Amino acid sequence: MPTPRTLLLTGAAGGVGTLMRDLLPAYGYELRLLDLVPIDGEPTAVTADLADHKALREAVRGVDAIIHLAGISLESTFDRILRANIAGTYHLYEAAREEGVGRIVFASSNHAIGCTPRTRPGDPLIPVGTPHRPDTFYGLSKAFGEDLAQLYWDKHGLETVSVRIGACFPEPTSVRMLSVWLSPADGARLFHAALTAEAVGHTVVHGSSANTRLWWDLTTARALGYDPQDDSEPYAAKLVAEQGELDPADPADARVGGRFVTDPPMWPH
Residues that bind ligand 15L (CB under 6 A): 73-74, 109-111, 167, 180
By CB neighbour count within 10 A (0-12 exposed, 13-18 middle, 19+ buried), where does 55 fall? middle
Whichever of 108 and 122 has its CB closer to ligand NAI, that residue is 108
Whichever of 3 and 175 has its CB closer to ligand NAI, that residue is 175
Number of C-beta neighbours around residue 150 at 10 A: 15
Number of C-beta neighbours around residue 268 at 10 A: 7
Cβ pair 228, 181 in contact under 8 A: no
- Smallest gap from residue 62 Cβ to ligand 15L (A): 29
Task: Please tell me which residue in 27, 90, 93, 138 is annotated as part of the active site.
Answer: 138
Q: In the bound complex, which residue of the shown chain has the CB atom lying closest to ligand NAI?
A: 14
Whichever of 72 and 254 has its CB closer to ligand NAI, that residue is 72
Question: Length of the chain, please?
Answer: 269
- Comparing CA positions, the residue from 215, 213, 217 lying closest to residue 127 is 217
- Smallest gap from residue 109 Cβ to ligand 15L (A): 4
Number of C-beta neighbours around residue 121 at 10 A: 5
For residue 179, the one-letter residue type is: S
Binding site for ligand NAI (CB under 6 A): 11, 13-17, 35-37, 49-50, 69-73, 84, 88, 107, 109, 165, 167-168
Whole-angstrom distance, CA of residue 212 vs CA of residue 147: 30
- Comparing CA positions, the residue from 12, 11, 24 lying closest to residue 188 is 24
Q: Is 29 a catalytic residue?
A: no
Whichever of 94 and 263 has its CB closer to ligand 15L, that residue is 263
- Smallest gap from residue 168 Cβ to ligand NAI (A): 4
- Smallest gap from residue 122 Cβ to ligand NAI (A): 26
Catalytic center residues: 138
